[in-house]
Amino acid sequence: MSAKDIFHEAVKQALQKEQWIITDDPLKFKFGNVNFQVDLGAERLLAADRGDEKIAVEIKSFLNPSAITDFYAALGQFLSYRLALESTQSERVLYLAVPVDAYQNFFQIEFTQTALQKYQVLLVVYDPVNEVIVQWIK
């Protein structure tokens, strides 16, 4: 089992505050002969006639000295997970969870914005101190 991100519990608490039910911690699934493990699986009831919404959340801290190195790893992981989820759990939407400090700084530069748009990366921006979701970015 891989190590949990330092902010794993903060993101989990933040999601629960927004009425998400954590269904998997971690969300494990298989695509072909490859095993995958996304940090969290969650769902919530939208409305009685609309069913529920299911998400998967990969949590990143962006605490290393090189934000670009963290981004390369996070983007590669996100794209791999999304590809596998589309084939195995197509009802689930994958989000990359990033701390608000990283979002306000590194995620605002032109390169990062271009990559997020090009690869259609969905973000959950979280505050690890207050354990809240700051913004959902689709």
Could you report the per-residue pLDDT of 108-121, keeping only the tens digit for each? 999 999 999 999 99
Please report the pLDDT score of residue 52 as a whole number. 85
The pTM of this model reads 0.94
In the β-sheet with 123-127, what is the strand arrangement from edge to edge? Answer: 21-24, 40-47, 51-59, 92-99, 123-127, 132-137
pLDDT band at 50 (very low <50, low <70, confident <90, very high): low
**Can you tell me the mean pLDDT for 89-113?**
97
Q: Residue 91 above 80 pLDDT?
A: yes
- Average pLDDT, rounded, for the chain: 94
pLDDT band at 45 (very low <50, low <70, confident <90, very high): confident
Please report the pLDDT score of residue 1 as a whole number. 46
In 16-131 the beta strands, taken as DSSP E runs, fall at 21-24, 27-31, 34-38, 40-47, 51-59, 92-99, 123-127
Please report the pLDDT score of residue 48 as a whole number. 56
Q: Residue 3 above 70 pLDDT?
A: no
Q: 5 or 64: which carries more pLDDT confidence?
A: 64
**Architecture, CATH, for domain 3-137:** 3-Layer(aba) Sandwich (3.40)
